Amino acid sequence: MSGTISFSKQVNRFFDNAAALTDHDPSLLAQIRECNFVCRFSFPVERDNGSIEVISAWRAEHSNHKLPTKGGIRFSPDVNEDEVCALAALMTHKCAIVNVPFGGAKGGVRIDRRNYSDRELERITRRFTFELYRKNFIGPGCDVPAPDFGTGAKEMSWIADTYQSLNNGELNALACVTGKPVELGGIRGRTEATGLGVFYGVREACGIAEDMTKLGLSTGIEGKTVVIQGFGNVGFHTAKFFHEHGAKVIAIAEYDGSIFNPNGLNIPALDLHRQETGSITNYPGSKMMGKSESALELACDILIPAALENVITKENAPRIKAKIIGEAANGPTTAEADEILNKMGVLIIPDAFLNAGGVTVSYFEWLKDLSHVRFGRLEKRFEEYSFRRLLTAVEGVTEKRFTEEMLKVLSQGADEHDLVRSGLEETMSTAYVEIRETKCKLDGKADLRTSAFVNSINKIALCYGDMGIFP
């Protein structure tokens, strides 16, 4: 926490900055700003040693202007009602910014998962799902959770299984949660979606010559130096995609230490080292840097906080040397730090846009579960035959022959993975163009974050107008 204002107040401050640039009725703006529902749960769970522990948890549904509401569930020792409400609000705006037709929600269970066995985590997840079900806070048409900090595909499969057993025979039961393993109704490409979305979003920003010139940078990703905080789901995949596209990931910060190599870290090798030793520390070919926070202040082109909220504050903001901050985590920059960094000329690509890859592909997974068919299953072969016919016609006209290898590559039909990635790229690119257009229209009155919020407010207002609630 920044020590002065709560996470919710910070999100509201971002909202208010944007709302002031719109001409919507104040009562409509108040409706869009407020969190619609929040439920607090306390439930007992048996530990492996037979003792009983009472667990605290929350689920907030920020906006029901579109249903279902959507948002991750985090397992974190620091989670609280304010944080869950703030994150739910961010989800509402995120969905609107990237044109995903959901309202925003978020859930949190106050535990440090490292202190629990797998069997205990399963009991906690299943009991929380049961409580959500009892309060009507889960279901394919009302509220659909997903992974977040401290949770992943395993927890999502426990949620799906619990919901299914409570709704025996419900055809669409698997659509009650996203981020599931592929074998259990998940979608190919969901695991890496947030990190890949971060990459697409930053690449879009780095492709605009006018903006890069202002920062003293060339266009493109290749050769740019990148520092990433967090090497979990989002941080690891973000690092992997930047590395694959020729950026130099010069430092990674984790809770137990940071590592640095000015020539760039080998991300796949680092991942192997982490799998073998349980930590990124002491990775051969890197220097240890001590505390996680010190990495945030390294000189680099792109800084990507991908772990926690409120890590860039008014205290360390003046020491940040990055030219671009790509907010992969939710709420990593406090409102005060945001003001300081804007004055310093840092380009901040905001969380409400940049980490929307996860919810975008979650949307695709939800659609897949409702349609009960894998994307690409019907058309893949048809596409391949069509491409083959076309290539044969080209051979006829040019009297040249393609090799069998070329024919194979050129006639390939799209499978689920290809379609998911293409849908994600299109979503992130379109949203960035929309945000930048708004920024240009506002002519210096707004940064990217405020412009993104203006877009979100306008889209949600339109929705309320269409419902006839706020004409």
Among 121, 234, 239, 325, binds ligand NAD (CB under 6 A): 234
In the block, residue with structure tokens 């409706």: 31
24 or 74: CB nearest ligand NAD: 74
Pairing mode, strands 225-229 and 248-254:
parallel
Q: Does 251 sit near ligand NAD (CB under 6 A)?
A: no
Counting every residue written for the chain, the total comes to 471
Strand, helix or coil for residue 274? helix
Q: Does 71 sit near ligand NAD (CB under 6 A)?
A: no
Q: Distance between CA atoms of 370 and 69, rounded to whole angstroms?
A: 16
**In terms of Cα–Cα distance, which of 376, 470, 364 is closest to 26?**
470
Q: Does 157 sit near ligand NAD (CB under 6 A)?
A: no
Is residue 7 within 8 Å of residue 333, measured between CB atoms?
A: no
Is residue 39 within 8 Å of residue 135, measured between CB atoms?
A: yes
Q: Does 308 sit near ligand NAD (CB under 6 A)?
A: yes
Among 19-27, 126-134, 247-255, 424-432, the segment contacting ligand NAD (CB under 6 A): 247-255
- Report the half-sphere exposure of 128 (CA within 13 A, side-chain side): 28
Q: Which two tokens stand for residue 466?
A: 């269409």
Among 23-31, 115-123, 141-149, 389-397, the segment contacting ligand NAD (CB under 6 A): 141-149
Is residue 110 within 8 Å of residue 146, measured between CB atoms?
A: no
Site for ligand NAD in 18-47 (CB under 6 A): none
Least distance CB 150 / ligand NAD (angstroms): 5
Q: Does 140 sit near ligand NAD (CB under 6 A)?
A: no
Beta partners for residue 43, in sequence order: 55
Q: Does 307 sit near ligand NAD (CB under 6 A)?
A: yes
Least distance CB 45 / ligand NAD (angstroms): 20
Least distance CB 393 / ligand NAD (angstroms): 44
Q: Does 349 sit near ligand NAD (CB under 6 A)?
A: no
**In terms of Cα–Cα distance, which of 337, 360, 294, 323 is closest to 94?**
360
24 or 59: CB nearest ligand NAD: 59
Q: Does 355 sit near ligand NAD (CB under 6 A)?
A: yes
Q: Distance between CA atoms of 279 and 284, rounded to whole angstroms?
A: 12
Q: Does 241 sit near ligand NAD (CB under 6 A)?
A: no
Q: Spot the catalytic one: 66, 70, 94, 106.
A: 106
Query: Across 130-255, where does the E strand assignment appear?
Result: 143-147, 225-229, 248-254
Is residue 369 within 8 Å of residue 185, measured between CB atoms?
A: yes
Among 3, 245, 255, 410, binds ligand NAD (CB under 6 A): 255
Tell me the number of residues near ligand NAD by CB under 6 A. Answer: 24
CB atoms within 10 A of CB 330: 25
Least distance CB 133 / ligand NAD (angstroms): 23
In the residue annotation, 214 being an active-site residue is answered as no
Among 17, 292, 333, 450, binds ligand NAD (CB under 6 A): 292
Binding-site ranges for ligand NAD (CB under 6 A): 147-150, 194, 229-235, 253-255, 292, 306-308, 328-330, 355, 358
Catalytic residues: 106
